[in-house]
Amino acid sequence: MKQKGLVKKVLFYAAVSVVAVIGIAFTLVYVYQDKIITLFVTEANKHIKTKVEVEKISLSLFDKFPQVAVSLDKVNVVEGVPESEVSLARLNKLYFTFSIWDVLRGKYNVKELFLEDGAIYVRVLQDGSVNYDIIKTDTTATEDGDFAFNLEQIDFNRVAINYTDLKLNQAYEVNAHQLQAALAISTETIGIEADGDATINTIKVGTGEYFKGKRVTLNTALQIDRLKKTIALEPSVINVENAAYEVAGTIDFAGVTDLNLTLQGKNTSIQSMLSLLPQHITKEFNQYRSDGDVYFSGTVKGEASSKHNPEITFSFGCRNATFYHPDVKQRIEKLSFEGSFTNGSKQNASTSALTLKNLKGSLNNRPFSGNISYENFKNPTIAFDLSGMVDVAYVLGLLQLEQVRTGSGLADVKIAFSGNFNEFKARPGNSTVNTSGDITLHNVSLNLSDLPLPVNGMNGNFIFKHNDVAVSDFKGKLGESDFVLNGMFNNVMAWLLLDNQRLFVDADFSSNYLNFDQLLSEKQNTPANARKSDSGYRLEVSPNIAFNLGASVKKMQFRRFKGENIKGEVTLKNQVITTPNISVNTLGGNFAVRGSIDARQRNHIKVSTASKINNLSVDSLFYVFENFNQDFILDRNLKGSLTANIISDVYLDSQLNPKTNLLQAEIEATVRNGQLINFAPMQKMSAFVKRSELANMRFSELHNNFYIQERTIYIPEMDIRTSLSPLPSVSISGTHTFDQDMDYKIKMPLFQKRRPDKDAVFGVVAEDPNAGNSMLFLTLKGKENNFKLAYDDDRVRAKIKDDLKQEGQEIKQILKGKKPVKKEKTVELEEGEYFDFN
């Protein structure tokens, strides 16, 4: 129990002592704070020759306990450039610390500086002067004064350090999270040891950008010789993403800066090596990682000035490594290569070169090999060769391409490429690139982001020669449509690699089946997030594709239209599709066409054709073309065989909606062995013919020319020879608009055999069989579902006038002893009277 009480007493007196010491220290700090701050300001003014703005200066015992700290709030240090008001540093807090015993002695020796929450802006100007020369060199302060700066350590906490060298065109941006620098300062040398964590936002050298967004850990030591103006960098380690780089060497800054540095990589990875290279080279691979034995080493030697860059040489490689994307399962395994980088004889971008030699690896247990070189970063010349059987799904999973969602199949690749990119861009011809080898596809399928319609079952061989590709037996399916191509694809490399380049295809095309409902479907050919139209179709012709195809298609379909044995030639150039001859077997006959589709204006597509139709079934034609958007005469009302010549200009928008106001057509048509079945206007003729006979009116041949213009069909007068004995012929002419307004003129014979209940309507008709037939003139006007038959006053008057004239001629003939010719009789009705036949 005594021992326990003793411990309590010791702890009590210790606590009292600590409280007493803290209390005494706090009292001393409080009592002497004005004196200490005054001494600090006086001494600082002796050392600093630029303007320093401070919101508040105070003395604190607890901020950096057990050290006493002079605390500066909201500090702005103006850069050491004459007449400049630009900041060298802006910091929320600055702390200068010294020992509590210095307060008791009255001698204040500042050994540590803390910089917190702010930014430092260091600049080298165009003339070589610097903005950080703010320390006076003629100060008389000595260590024997009451207040002295003998800094041994500087701490950076959450400080952004920005270094810009306008003379060398370099910039460094670093966020120091927690960084300590120990100082050993003498009259001849300065020793610095730095340790801590930072993030390198970027290091820009010329147009190159290095180490972008890399978290690093520093452990470095260097010795600065003030007299010789040299820096000796002892072996120092920089850790970048689990990789360590050891740096050592010397920097001579007595005149122009001269570097002699070595760099050695430890525990490096492909990702850490890529981080050392310019971002425009490596940005596509930044998400990838590696495992395995990866090595790296390099040197930096020579003058670093506005006129010269040092010579940079790196060598790197890997053995039995694995390369992969962290978000996918696919990997490149058993990877090995030997790589090098140099900025060349002139130490600039134009002589820089990156090479990968003896590249070998395995993709899904399938080996591949190759070599890559990238020379002259300012004017790149690229060369590579690649060989191997590639699993398409595996490679797409590894590359994570936005344009291709999924894929499958195999590609046997044996290809080599070399060329200067800028020369190729300026002159994309065969002389600027050298491509050789071939690629063979084995049942390859792709699902593209911009094309919902899948491309399946692709097989074929592609032989590369310079800028062109010879295609042999390339077959596949686009949705339900299949294709086979054999021929030449010219300017392929330029089309693939450059903007606004044209691909020209000269080939034979064949297909067993083409489904244009799918091929022209807006839903199947437009990305999911794109705006859709109401029509459901879309036709856009790329200005960057041209072709000359000899086509042969066994079957095709578009809406109700079905064709067979399609053959002909098709050419595309400058967004205009032309054909001199295409023939199609359809609707029981044959259809041949020549013409063009001009798609240069996206929403004003012009289709100009000259077509010949042989023996097409009329009812099938009306059915296929959906009764031509009218219901006056339907496919069920017609039968017969159509032969026609059609010349037309049709205008469409990109959704294949017709611009009917611009349609023009001339049609020469003949219908043989025709039937008019249950046609409503003919049923109105029951005053002359029995309804049973009108239900199926046959005619042997109908021939006429039709014209379409300004949404109106013009029908010149034509005679229809029918199978109806009471009505052997009917003559029809008139117009029919696309708005279904009808204006027809009808002439028919009125036979003498009368129906007593009806003939009173027409007055007395001569019954003399030798007197000839009377003619009835009618009009049909109105809408398809609301029309009227009426007496044609104008034509009757014209007929009477002609008859009177003819009778005068006959009298003269009789007087001359000639027999008169029989004439038609005209039935006169009351003017304006309409018929309502039942």
DSSP string, 129-183: -BS---B-SS----TTSSEEEEEEEEEEEEEEEEEEETTTTEEEEEEEEEEEEEE
What are the angstrom distances between the C-alpha of 440 and each of 269, 445, 461, 473? 34, 13, 4, 10
All residues at 6 or more sequence positions from 24 whose CB lies less than 8 Å from its CB, including other chains: none
Query: Same domain for 606 and 748?
Result: no
3-class state of residue 203 by DSSP: strand
Residues 140 and 31 occupy one common structural domain:
yes
472 within domain boundaries: no
Position 331 in a domain: no
Residue 809 pLDDT: 61
> Which residue, 677, 693, 709, sits at the end of a domain?
677
Residue 32: the pLDDT is 59
Tell me which of 102, 132, 167 is where a domain ends.
167
* 134 and 41 within one domain: yes
Q: Is 695 helix (H, G, I), strand (E, B) or coil?
A: coil
End residue of a domain, out of 612, 642, 677? 677
> Residue 141: what pLDDT?
45
Please give the radius of gyration of the chain, using alpha carbons only, rounded to the nearest integer.
48
CA distance 454 to 480: 9
Q: Quick one: 41 and 109 in the same domain?
A: yes
Are 455 and 476 contacting, i.e. CB atoms less than 8 angstroms apart?
yes
- Please indicate, yes or no, if residue 48 is contained in any of the structural domains: yes
187 lies in some domain: no
The region, left, alpha or beta by phi > 0 then psi within -120 to 50, assigned to residue 678 is left
Check if the beta carbon of residue 200 is closer than 8 Å to that of residue 211.
yes
Half-sphere exposure of 139 (CA within 13 A, CB side): 18
Q: Which residue from 55, 62, 164, 71 is spatially nearest to 119, judged by alpha carbons?
A: 164
CA pair distance 827, 627, nearest whole angstrom: 36
Residue 4 lies inside a defined structural domain of this protein: no
Distance of alpha carbon 327 from alpha carbon 349, whole angstroms: 34
104-159: per-residue pLDDT in tens? Answer: 677 778 888 898 999 999 888 888 788 877 777 554 444 556 777 777 888 989 99
- The answer to whether 615 and 590 have CB atoms below 8 angstroms apart is yes
- Shared domain check, 597 and 512: yes
739 in the same domain as 797: yes
pTM given for the model: 0.66
**How confident is the model at residue 762, as a pLDDT?**
39
Judgement on whether residues 769 and 828 belong to the same structural domain of the protein: yes
664 plus 787 within the same structural domain = no
The answer to whether the beta carbons of residues 416 and 436 sit under 8 Å apart is: yes
Is 340 among the domain residues? no
Q: Which helix (H) or strand (E) holds 421?
A: helix 421-426
Confirm whether 301 is domain-assigned.
no
Question: Does residue 766 sit in helix, strand or coil?
Answer: coil
Indicate if 645 and 740 belong to the same structural domain. no
Residues facing residue 433 across a β-bridge: 419
Q: Spell out, as residue ranges, where the chain has pLDDT lower than 50.
A: 13, 18, 139-142, 752-772, 824-838
Do 629 and 762 reside in the same domain of the chain? no
Whether residue 246 is contained in a domain is answered as no
CA distance 34 to 560: 99
Do residue 513 and residue 657 come from a single domain? yes
- What pLDDT, on a 0 to 100 scale, did the predictor assign at position 580? 92
Confidence at residue 664, expressed as pLDDT on a 0 to 100 scale: 87
Q: Do 799 and 656 belong together in one domain?
A: no
Q: Are 555 and 512 in contact (CB under 8 A)?
A: yes
How far is the C-alpha of 659 from the C-alpha of 453, rounded, in Å?
28
Write down the H helix ranges in 483-561. 492-497, 516-519, 522-525
How many domains, in total, are found in the chain? Answer: 3
Q: What is the pLDDT of residue 576?
A: 93
Segments forming the whole domain that contains residue 553: 506-677
